[in-house]
A = this chain, B = another copy of it.
Amino acid sequence: MWSKLIRHTTESSRIFETYVRYACTSSLVPGEPDGPCVKTAVPGPQSKSLLGELSKVQQCGTVQLFINYDKSIGNYLVDADDNVILDTYTQISSMPLGYNHPEVLKSFSSDHNLKSLVNRPALGVFPGMDWPQKLQNLLKEVSPNLPNITPMMCGSCSNENAFKSIFIAYRRKQRGENKDFSDDEKESTVRNQPPGSPKLSILSFFGAFHGRTLGSLSTTHSKFIHKMDIPAFDWPIAHFPRYRYPLEDNVRENAEEDSKCLAEVEELMESFCKRGVPVAGVIVEPIQAEGGDNEGSPEFFRCLQKICKERGSYLLFDEVQTGGGPTGRFWCHQHFDLESPRISPKLPYRIFNTWMGDPGKLILLENILNVIKTYNLLGQVQRTGDRLRCGLLELEKEFPCYIDSTRGRGTFLAFNAATTELRDDILKRLKQKGVQTGGCGIKSIRLRPALVFQEHHADIFLDIFRQVLKETK
């Protein structure tokens, strides 16, 4: 039945619109099944056989399932064995509207958009005629307080280029605003030596994940396997707050935790400055995701920004997981009431690469933003988030020996299992019942559903999770 619906909706957006207008208590993505449906072990025989094939050409020990992306729809993955799986993890939090959303499928139906996709330009040199307007529109939509935008291709390279912007701004201040580079600087930087390639650092936090290229990896500290055997910059690392939950019962302890971590940041800045490796910038996640969904309080972030400002360092928020709406606002840092200072490079060819982004991805983003606005998906996130959080807190009460510390904002939620083993066991049994979630940190489970994850999806998840907890021995 529902596979017929998928066919319908990809053929006609009219059906989609009717569906949304007159049946808004139903799924925001038409054609979704009523719930998960598991026919084999997960992974099943087809996924296992495909894994054998893939392992001939690459290390693929990370692969969990092979997916039929033709059949997947909305919040539901359909795997290679035709198992229908409710997805609360969305490709490591990267599919804001789930699968095959009819508006997203329309992205390249116009000749102009198709040509923007296949004629991928070097955007820093030969941009298309509509590029300035597209970037201006994008800024208006997603970032009314920040005046500049530099598109990149992934989280790691966004961070690497943000570090570079920070180093450039920091050195410009040191050198004097409009002073030229010296010959010594020009000559030494080509040899990787100071003063042209200066001793400067980026401060990061234990538990952080900011990417895997050598600069961003030097600020990643969540798991040893990401870093083992790879040379790193010797940069300062501070502790990130670890709160006790529920927050309202641990106000004093958590405030002390903030103070301790902030004091360490100041000490490290002081000591690295004395060592001759001043801290040009601080990178931080609004919620440490990979490291265990560890939250920082608004007060923590406001104080952190103040410390940076006092010492002439720049504060950089990495919103690769939290950005785009799952916390109920478009950016998580908007919850913190921060100042918005700006830096941007003054000279060409410094923050630059061959592509500088990808017009094809911006077309997808435009359609996604349009759906978010039209259907007020940030409001949906808040409603679904409330339902999920209440359900999880109830389950905490029902199974206090198994789970605790429910936390997060919007649908960006997590909780702890009592042990790592129990966490891994829960993840596995959820999957056998048709629910995909993700682990993080040492014993946490994180939810990263799409923005079209609704109350009824939350109920399905909570029902199955209750079953799993009941069956825990």
Contact = CB atoms under 8 A, between A and B. Distances in A.
Task: Assign chain A's interface to a size class.
Answer: 35 or more
Oligomer: number of copies:
2
Contacts of A58: 135, 148-150, 344
A466 to B, nearest CB: 26
Given A119-B100, A153-B154, A154-B157, A62 B114 contact: no
Given A119-B99, A191-B237, A62 B349 contact: yes
Contacts of A66: 126-129, 131
A401 interface: no
A53 interface: yes
Contacts of A100: 115, 118-119
Chain A interface, >50% SS class: loop
Contacts of A77: 126
B53 A132 contact: yes
A54 interface: yes
B107 A118 contact: yes
A70 B161 CA distance: 31
Contact of A114 (B108, B133, B139): B108
A33 interface: no
B190 A206 contact: yes
Nearest to A155: B354
A348 B59 contact: yes
A225 B350 contact: yes
Given A148-B57, A218-B192, A231-B167, A72 B119 contact: yes
A69 to B, nearest CB: 4
A185 interface: yes
Contacts of A364: 118
A91 interface: yes
Interface of A: 10, 46, 50, 53-54, 56-70, 72, 77, 80, 91-92, 94-95, 99-100, 104-105, 107-108, 111-112, 114-122, 124-129, 131-133, 135-136, 139, 147-150, 153-157, 160-161, 163-164, 167-168, 170-172, 181, 185-187, 189-193, 196-201, 206, 211-216, 218, 221, 223-235, 237, 344-355, 360, 364
21 contacts: A10-B111, A57-B132, A57-B139, A58-B149, A58-B344, A61-B348, A62-B352, A64-B125, A66-B129, A67-B128, A67-B129, A70-B115, A91-B354, A94-B354, A100-B115, A108-B117, A118-B364, A154-B353, A160-B213, A191-B221, A196-B229
